[in-house]
């Protein structure tokens, strides 16, 4: 049988090789805290085993106690790694104190002549650290169902072995026949080496599982944050429209995912009523943040006299932000004078508005301006449209076209589908909701509908335009 020195050298070589593999392959690949803990434990086991090579020399007086302390600290690192798998932090005292205690006890147990100075405490602490590691590994979630068992069995087996060593050491003594034959240095080194190699085969798998768990938890956290952001954005959309006698108003925004680059808004003014439908380039929360910025700028500018002045004011505020994010916004913005039925419209690259007359004829509102953010300081050209009794203004975002597979006649089909299902503004919005609900959306869908139902004198509007009524969302 190999002597203890040869086995310790073999153990040191194996520990050093495994440490390099764990660090440069497993840890560098996964950045798993578990693999880093194992690298630390192997380095400590390597140092502790190397110090025992000084046994029988004058250096034994300091090397043996230090070897005890470092080896126990290596076992504490195994415990730290096991705790990391259960998302537990390992306090500094738990990592340092066991090894410090083993070192101090060994110092006061004649280390100059006693190769087993502090042996009982050393064996008890090694057993405790390894058994506690096994307990942590046993608690692991189902996600570690396969990979945890080899490492669990190795840790628990080695912990039980050290517990048996402790019992034999206390009852039989360090020179006893039972302890020497079954729990001596040579046997222990061989057992530890074998179990270390067995454990090594699953450290990479456990580290990959830990990385997967971290990714999953981060995704869940990010998903929850995105869900909350989407809820906030949804709450920012108008929930009520001003009640304007002689008009029906309704709108809806249906995101294709978390967050929407589409938005719509309306706001009463002292001269009437504004309506806006916008579509930010892109999707997701980045587009949603830009949409919120543009909406806020529009709300602060609606007191301007004309729609051109409103867009000029908004452009001054948001165009630097749009340029910084290499983005742009298509926008339909109009001011309605309810007594006249007059719409003062600016279409900034949107092109998806239409007036459907009472007799069924249609007047599509083309874009006369570039999208907001494309050309700084552009002159905003407006146009006028009239809403007579029975006329309907429909404004879509381009997501509606995807509901009809982006065909050349998709816009006409969308107008027909929306209008064919009902006559009130709310009926139209319900029809769009049903239409979108029957498809897997690839883009956000936004629709606003305004129908003029009757002529109303200006005196009545002055009294009632600010009274809110619930709008469908």
- Do 120 and 168 lie in one domain? The reply is yes
pLDDT exceeds cutoff 70 at 296: yes
- Do 160 and 73 lie in one domain? The reply is yes
- Do 170 and 121 lie in one domain? The reply is yes
Provide the domain count of the chain: 2
Question: 207 pLDDT band (50/70/90 cuts)?
Answer: low
CATH number where 364 lies: 3.60.40.10
- What does pLDDT average to over the chain? 81
The CA-CA-CA angle for residues 439, 354, 409, to 5°, reads 50
- Do 242 and 219 lie in one domain? The reply is no
pLDDT exceeds cutoff 80 at 406: no
**Domain presence at residue 66:** yes
- In 99-185, the DSSP E strands lie at none
- The string of pLDDT tens digits covering residues 122-131 is 999 999 999 9
- Do 205 and 264 lie in one domain? The reply is no
Residue 387 has what pLDDT?
92
Burial tier of 169 (Cβ tally within 10 Å: 0-12, 13-18, 19+): buried
CA 112 to chain centre: 58
Highest mean pLDDT among 72-81, 290-299, 460-469: 72-81
Out of 223, 256, 274, pick the residue that ends a domain: 223
- The string of pLDDT tens digits covering residues 236-259 is 677 777 788 899 998 888 887 766
Residue 31 has what pLDDT?
77
**Domain presence at residue 365:** yes
CA distance 384 to 393: 13
**Domain presence at residue 339:** yes
CA distance 246 to 80: 72
Quick one: average pLDDT of 30-36? 78
* Structure token pair of residue 137: 């590994």
Q: Is 21 helix (H, G, I), strand (E, B) or coil?
A: helix
Q: What is the bridge-based pairing of β-strands 392-396 and 445-452? A: antiparallel
Out of 195, 223, 251, pick the residue that ends a domain: 223
Task: Give the 3-state DSSP-derived string for 185-205, with helices as H, strands as E and coil as C.
Answer: HHHHHHHHHHHHHHHHHHHHH
Out of 171, 191, 223, pick the residue that ends a domain: 223
Q: Is 329 helix (H, G, I), strand (E, B) or coil?
A: strand
Task: For residue 48, give its domain range.
Answer: 4-223
Task: Give the 3-state DSSP-derived string for 278-303, with helices as H, strands as E and coil as C.
Answer: EEECCCHHHHHHHHHHHHHHHHHHCC
Neighbours of 197 (CB within 10 A): 12
**Domain presence at residue 166:** yes
CA distance 76 to 127: 11
- Do 286 and 424 lie in one domain? The reply is yes
Burial tier of 152 (Cβ tally within 10 Å: 0-12, 13-18, 19+): buried
Quick one: average pLDDT of 228-241? 66
Residue 343 has what pLDDT?
93
- Do 206 and 309 lie in one domain? The reply is no
Residue 463 has what pLDDT?
52
Q: Which long-range CB contacts under 8 A does 313-319 form with residues at least 24 apart?
A: 314/372, 315/372, 315/376, 315/377, 315/378, 315/380, 318/293, 318/294, 318/372, 318/373, 319/372, 319/373, 319/376
- Do 193 and 309 lie in one domain? The reply is no
Q: What is the bridge-based pairing of β-strands 362-365 and 353-356? A: antiparallel
**Domain presence at residue 250:** yes
Tell me the residue length of the chain. 473
- Do 430 and 299 lie in one domain? The reply is yes
Burial tier of 181 (Cβ tally within 10 Å: 0-12, 13-18, 19+): exposed
CA distance 319 to 316: 6
**Domain presence at residue 446:** yes
- Do 345 and 442 lie in one domain? The reply is yes
CATH number where 116 lies: 1.20.1070
**Domain presence at residue 230:** no
Neighbours of 362 (CB within 10 A): 14
Quick one: average pLDDT of 379-406? 87
Question: 470 pLDDT band (50/70/90 cuts)?
Answer: very low
Least confident stretch, 161-175, 368-382, 407-421: 407-421
How far is residue 43 from each of residues 6, 292, 351, measured CA to CA in Å?
19, 54, 68
Q: What is the bridge-based pairing of β-strands 240-242 and 272-280? A: unpaired
* Structure token pair of residue 427: 């009926």
In 3-state terms, the chain is what percent helix, strand and coil (to 5)?
A: 55, 15, 25
CA distance 215 to 225: 15
**Domain presence at residue 262:** yes
- Do 350 and 258 lie in one domain? The reply is yes
- Do 139 and 61 lie in one domain? The reply is yes
pTM, 2 dp: 0.56
Quick one: average pLDDT of 266-287? 83
């Amino acid at each position: 049988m190999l002597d203890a020195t040869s086995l310790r050298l073999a153990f040191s070589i194996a520990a050093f090789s495994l440490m390099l593999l764990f660090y440069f392959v497993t840890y560098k690949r996964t950045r798993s805290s578990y693999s880093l803990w194992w690298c630390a434990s192997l380095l400590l086991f390597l140092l502790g085993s190397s110090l025992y090579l000084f046994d029988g020399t004058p250096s034994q007086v300091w090397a043996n106690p230090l070897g005890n302390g470092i080896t126990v600290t290596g076992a504490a690192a195994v415990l730290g790694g096991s705790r990391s798998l259960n998302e537990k932090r390992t306090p500094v005292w738990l990592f340092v104190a066991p090894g410090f205690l083993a070192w101090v006890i060994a110092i006061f147990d004649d280390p100059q002549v006693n190769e087993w100075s502090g042996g009982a405490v050393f064996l008890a602490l090694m057993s405790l650290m390894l058994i506690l590691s096994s307990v942590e590994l046993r608690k692991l979630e189902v996600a570690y169902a396969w990979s945890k068992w080899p490492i669990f069995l190795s840790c628990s087996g080695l912990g039980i072995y050290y517990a048996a060593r402790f019992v034999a050491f206390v009852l039989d003594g360090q020179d006893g026949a039972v302890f020497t034959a079954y729990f001596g240095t040579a046997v222990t080194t061989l057992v530890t080496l074998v179990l270390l190699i067995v454990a090594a085969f699953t450290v990479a798998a456990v580290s990959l599982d830990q990385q997967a768990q971290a990714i999953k938890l981060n995704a869940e956290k990010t998903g929850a944050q995105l869900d909350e952001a989407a809820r906030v954005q949804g709450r920012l959309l108008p929930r009520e429209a001003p009640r304007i006698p002689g008009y029906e108003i309704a709108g809806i925004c249906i995101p294709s995912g978390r967050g929407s680059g589409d938005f719509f808004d309306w706001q009463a003014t002292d001269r009437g009523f504004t309506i806006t439908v916008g579509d930010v380039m892109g999707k997701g929360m980045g587009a949603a943040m830009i949409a919120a910025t543009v909406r806020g700028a529009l709300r602060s500018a609606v007191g301007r006299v004309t729609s051109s002045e409103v867009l000029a004011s908004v452009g001054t505020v948001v165009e630097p932000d749009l340029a910084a994010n290499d983005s742009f916004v298509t926008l339909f913005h109009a001011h309605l004078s309810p007594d006249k039925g007059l719409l003062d419209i600016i279409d900034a690259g949107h092109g998806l508005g239409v007036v459907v007359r009472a007799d069924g004829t249609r007047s599509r509102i083309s874009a006369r301006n570039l999208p907001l953010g494309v050309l700084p300081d552009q002159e905003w050209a407006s146009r006028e449209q009239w809403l007579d009794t029975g006329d309907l203004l429909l404004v879509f975002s381009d997501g509606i076209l995807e509901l009809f597979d982006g065909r050349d006649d998709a816009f006409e089909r969308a107008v027909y589908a929306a209008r064919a299902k009902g006559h009130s503004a709310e009926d139209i919005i319900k029809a769009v909701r049903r239409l979108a609900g029957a498809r897997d959306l690839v883009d956000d869908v936004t629709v606003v509908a305004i129908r003029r139902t009757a002529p109303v004198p200006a005196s009545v509007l002055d009294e009632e335009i600010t009274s809110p009524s619930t709008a469908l969302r």
